[in-house]
Amino acid sequence: MSLIDNIISWYSAHMNYASITALMAVESSFIPFPSEVVIPPAAFVAGQPESVLCATGNYPVDVLIIVLFGTLGAMIGAIFNYGLSVWLGRLIIYKFADSKLGHMCLLSSEKLEKAEAYFREKGNVSTFVGRFIPGIRQLISIPAGLSRMHFGAFLWWTFLGAFVWNCILAALGYLAAGQMDLIKEYSHELSVAILVLLGAVILYFVVKKIISLTTHK
């Protein structure tokens, strides 16, 4: 049994707000751990009256509480990556990524370069969009720190991205009834669909604003 399997087994037996926060903090740092095994099963378990996650007896509220604790954990991990990058700087971060320990964490200079290129292309909003992209999600806070992104903006976009992503995972947990195989298979597709929907909504309001401005001239 692998380390991740052991952690999942432990989590299944100790599923509560503290363990959700802790594991999501790990997932959001550079340590490889899938968020798909944290939020979805918790969202499913929240519907069981005997569970500690059924705190209010109101299922949507209980799931929202799980999402908020998961988002808190994600922000803790992201802030850790951001602060570490600011403190250590690019040279040491890249050396660590290419070290034996860095490779054990599934890091490499190539992955960091990919994350930095994505950050340069998308700007600050990449800390939001990056939350939906495998391989970028855990690393996007590093280029944000290396570039000295405004900390307030970093917190806002990180919170927004983590919150939406955790809502997606919670929805998957409900729809898939906690079945991890289904959750892992469709989490990426659903996140892409949500991004497209968000883009369409933003585009709608932008076009509406432009039309409003042009008609009032």
Task: Give per-residue pLDDT as tens, 119-154.
Answer: 777 777 778 877 777 667 777 788 888 888 888 988
Into how many domains does the chain fold?
1
Closest residue by Cα to residue 70 from 184, 173, 146? 173
Share of the chain above pLDDT 90, in %: 13
pLDDT(46) > 80: yes
Closest residue by Cα to residue 149 from 180, 117, 127, 171? 127
pLDDT(22) > 60: yes
pLDDT(70) > 90: yes
Average pLDDT taken over every residue of the chain: 78
Residue 154's H or E segment, with its range, is helix 151-175
Closest residue by Cα to residue 70 from 27, 123, 29, 20? 20
CA distances from 135 to 46, 123, 189 (A): 29, 18, 15
75 versus 95: the higher-pLDDT residue is 75
Could you list the residue range(s) of the whole structural domain that residue 80 is in?
A: 3-215
